[in-house]
Amino acid sequence: MNKQVNTASPLNNPSVLPCYPIKDIACSPVLVVAPHPDDETLGCGGAIAMLRSLNCDVRVFVISDGTLSHPRSLKYPAPALRALRESETLSALSVLGVEANAVTFYRMQDGSISAQYKSAIVNCCTYLTEISPQIIFLPWRYDPHPDHRATWKLIHTALVELHLCPRLIEYPIWDWDQKQRENLPETLKVTAWRLHTASVVELKQQAIATYRSQITDLIDDDPEGFRLTAEMLANFTHPWEVYLEETR
């Protein structure tokens, strides 16, 4: 019988994880990769604000266009929804201290990054070569959302192709939902830690609030439209952020 050995997720009890100050990761440039417009702010908003307060160069790369959040809205058909979500991202990042010219929207079709990722590798290689980041924040490779896992794979594959080895810091999003959270495979050695972000929590909350399409009834004509619940949002407004890194 094939026996799968698993390790409990560190997200079960984040308060025991070691907590480090921003100076431990301050460098330039730093790249934050988001599968959807909002993941950068939810997962890394505190880190982004603190790095910018230290004048670090922070770039943001948003992979998908986010148009699957309200696929049946007549008020916001895909092009309008894309424009809305991109404007929300720019507003959120402006609150966190990142200017629009540091943000790149790659506009892959929301929900199918996995199906398109091979054709995107060349463009990602070009982008990564231009930026040459020292640290990349990217989605946790085992996030329950397929677009998040595919984004990790896209960036990881491009880095292997380029022989680039920046520090990779992974951020969880949907693992915070207990119903979706899975244990870690025993084969992967992971270090989980927290970044102390107390001084920028209010700023992060303001940035999250700009994502009105995702947290309010702004788009009210799609009964199946996506909405981040208050319960889910509460996971992102602690005075710390949790990150995961493969132990080398």
Nearest distance, CB of residue 33 and Zn ion, angstroms: 11
CA distances from 191 to 21, 37, 124, 198, 221 (A): 16, 27, 27, 22, 43
8 Å CB contact between 136 and 174: no
Q: Is 241 in the site for Zn ion (CB under 5 A)?
A: no
Output the residue with the shortest Cβ distance to Zn ion: 36
Q: 36 or 204, CB closer to Zn ion?
A: 36
Q: Is 45 in the site for Zn ion (CB under 5 A)?
A: no
Looking up tokens 């984004």 gives: 151
Judged by CB under 5 A, the number of residues near Zn ion is: 3
Q: 22 or 63, CB closer to Zn ion?
A: 63
Q: What is the DSSP string of 102-118?
A: GEEEEEEPTT-HHHHHH
Nearest distance, CB of residue 143 and Zn ion, angstroms: 8
d(CA 53, CA 40): 17
DSSP letter at 238 equals S
In terms of Cα–Cα distance, which of 142, 171, 189 is closest to 240?
A: 171
Nearest distance, CB of residue 68 and Zn ion, angstroms: 10
Nearest distance, CB of residue 206 and Zn ion, angstroms: 20
Residues 25-44 that bind Zn ion (CB under 5 A): 35-36, 39
Nearest distance, CB of residue 26 and Zn ion, angstroms: 26
Q: 97 or 172, CB closer to Zn ion?
A: 172
d(CA 105, CA 61): 6
Q: 35 or 225, CB closer to Zn ion?
A: 35
In the complex, the residues that contact Zn ion under the rule CB under 5 A are 35-36, 39
